[in-house]
A = this chain, B = another copy of it.
Amino acid sequence: MCLLDADESAHCVRVLRHRAGDPVDVIDGLGTLYHCRLSVASPKEAQAEVLSQEADWHAHPYFLTVGCCPTKNNDRFEWFVEKATELGVDVIVPLIGDRSERRVYKSDRARRIALSATKQSLKARIPEIAEPVSVREFVVGDSGGSGGFPRFSESGESSLRLIAYCFEDAAVPRVSIQEALAGFDSAAATSPLPRITVLIGPEGDFSPEEASLALSAGYIPIHLGPSRLRTETAAVTAVEAVYLSRC
């Protein structure tokens, strides 16, 4: 038996006008779809009886974390959240960079967008929208180093960490994201769920200090092709490259 929260109950009973006995599909937001029969058609707390379930429903064959600096214009970042959710992403981390114009970010709106995009695109797992962290904190925590963000720890052979950085200094050679993914795909062929992390900087790019910190943490510098892309377009292009390379 499963209980729908207030929002979903209202949507199920008031908007979709479901009645007791109707078949309804319910997701737990963690990857499982439940085929149910509505037992209590309450617009405040609907109840449904589980008939069968499908684990990893419409799951994608990778675990993708995108750390991206929110744009000055909030709509653009939220648009990225919607598109990344439709395509397939697991964790989105709003990053505050040295050169970020936006120093604070409230993740709640993006979470609502991720929820509705998850339902709209028929997925069962809602991407996590993390609380914002600084680029430095994320890179250190994510590097498998001490402390930081163990939950984002991507250490291990089947993990790939990429940083899309404009690198004005030609000293640092970059590969295209397609090349980086192609090399990784063969290496991680044995891994059931290869972990990929991509960092996208703010309009003003990462600072040289943030970039060298990422490189020393094992991030591979990549480019996203010859076009000059807005921050949110670069972030979607990274998600598209992963999606197209593995689907």
Interface residues of A (CB under 8 A from B): 58, 60, 79, 83, 86-88, 120-123, 176-178, 225-230, 233, 236-237, 240-241, 243-244, 247
B228 near A122 with CB under 8 A, answer yes
Number of copies of chain A assembled together: 2
Q: Are A233 and B79 in contact (CB under 8 A)?
A: no
B86 and A229 form a contact (CB under 8 A): yes
Contact partners of A226 in chain B: CB under 8 A: 58, 60, 247
Q: Choose among B60, B87, B247 the residue that contacts A233 (Cβ–Cβ < 8 A).
A: B87
CA A181 to CA B184, docked complex, whole Å: 22
A227 engages B244 (CB within 8 Å): no
Chain B residues whose C-beta falls within 8 Å of the C-beta of A120 in the assembled complex: 228, 230
Query: Which residues of the other chain, B, contact A247 by a CB distance below 8 angstroms?
Result: 176, 225-227
A-B interface, 3 closest residue pairs, ranked by CB to CB distance from nearest = A225-B247, A240-B240, A122-B228
Check A230 against B60 for contact (C-beta < 8 Å). Answer: no
Q: Which residue of B lies closest to A229 (CB)?
A: B86
Question: How long is the Cα–Cα vector from A122 to B227 in the complex, in angstroms?
Answer: 8
Residues of B within 8 A of A227 (CB): 58, 60, 86-88, 121, 123, 243, 247
